[in-house]
Structure 1
Amino acid sequence: MADSLKAFFAESALKADEVEYVASKRFLDGDRKPIAWKIKPITQEEEESLLNQAKKKEYVPGTRDVKVSTDNNLFVRLLITSCVTFPNLDDAALQDSYGAVGAQDLIQKMLTPGEYADLANMVQQVCGFEVGMDDKMKRVKN
């Protein structure tokens, strides 16, 4: 049993790979082929930090209560900009070319709405959200 537990040690775990993904067919290399973006997964700890950054507090009128909610759009932008390693969304020259201030602003200006939605889905898949819990539970039961 001790040996089977070693499979869960950090040094035994397989490292999550960076994935290449063509986020847009509009960005072409010298041979006129679409350039693949690179996406890396983040840890649960990093995701919690992003979630905390996306939380907003609102005071409930007429009370002393505070309502805390998550700005889902902000969270997705934070997730994308944390996971995309290429192109470098923090590059000042790239941001200047779009008139953007910061990586979050840049990603919204670089991509069309459909490209952005597809990239957001891919980033979530790379982070391990591609399979719903129902599917996982069915696999375990069978």
Structure 2
Amino acid sequence: MDFQEFMLGNALPVENRKVTVSKRFVKDGKAIPWEIRAITNDEDETLRKNFMRRVPAPGKAGKRGQYVQDFDGPGYMSALCAACVVYPNLNDAALQDSYKVKDAEALLRAMLTPGELGDLAAEVQEHCGFDVSMADKVEEAKN
């Protein structure tokens, strides 16, 4: 079996991508592109763990002290977007101060409209590979 193509040195890097998130931030009459990156699996695992919590189980089970896992999807998505944005620098103190916020996630919510934030989330998910279902991958492999 030959698997040399799978060795680290042969894997193509995931390049950063420039995307138009908003038409409201302009320079010379043109929308300023944002730059996003794909996070690593380790970074994603850490983010996911940060948004898992134990909550009392519904009904009688919760009254008996049983718990279930609950995932804060919107919180995770907000953190994922903040982690993937390279430009503008969401951790820049002057930029945060101009919007009167103190962290990258709050800055995104302050800078963007809900639709723009949704567009950013879609771009981030696609760039991180979350947009392709297994059925799509099977169909692509057939062709």
Q: TM-score normalized by structure 1?
A: 0.92
Cα distance in 2 for partners of 1:19, 1:28 equals: 18
Secondary structure of 1:68's aligned partner: strand
The 5-angstrom pairing of residues 88-103 of structure 1 reads 88-103=89-104
**Tell me, which stretches of 5 or more residues in structure 2 are unaligned?**
none
**1:49-98 C-alpha deviation (Å, 9 max, x unpaired):** 11001112213441221221110011001110111000000111111111
In structure 1, C-alpha distance between the alignment counterparts of 2:99 and 2:140, rounded to whole Å: 46
Write the distance in 2 (CA, Å) between the matches of 1:125 and 1:137: 17
State the alpha-carbon separation in 2 of the partners of residues 114 and 53 from structure 1.
25
Percent sequence identity over aligned pairs: 40
Q: What's the offset of the Cα at 1:141? A: 4.0
Post-superposition CA distance 1:14-59 (Å, at most 9, x none): 0001000111010112x12111000000122211111001112213
Aligned to 2:42: 45
Distance (whole Å) between structure 1 residues aligned to residue 85 and residue 40 of structure 2: 14
| Residue equivalent to 1:7 | 5
2:119 is paired with a residue whose SS is helix
Match of 1:56, SS state, is strand
Please list every run of 5 or more consecutive structure 1 residues that lacks an aligned counterpart in the other structure.
none
Distance of 2:142 and 2:94 partners within structure 1: 52
2:74 equivalent in structure 1? 73
Distance 1:139 1:113 in 2: 33
Whether 1:129 aligns to 2:130 is yes
In the alignment, does 2:139 pair up with 1:138?
yes
TM-score by length of structure 2 reads 0.91
**Which one of the candidate residues 9, 32, 36 is aligned to 1:35?**
32
Other-structure match for 1:118: 119
Report the alpha carbon displacement of residue 125 of structure 1 after superposing the two structures with TM. Answer: 0.5
For residues 141 and 30 of structure 2, the distance between their equivalents in structure 1, rounded to whole angstroms, comes to: 42
Q: Which runs of 4+ in 1 moved over 4 A?
A: none
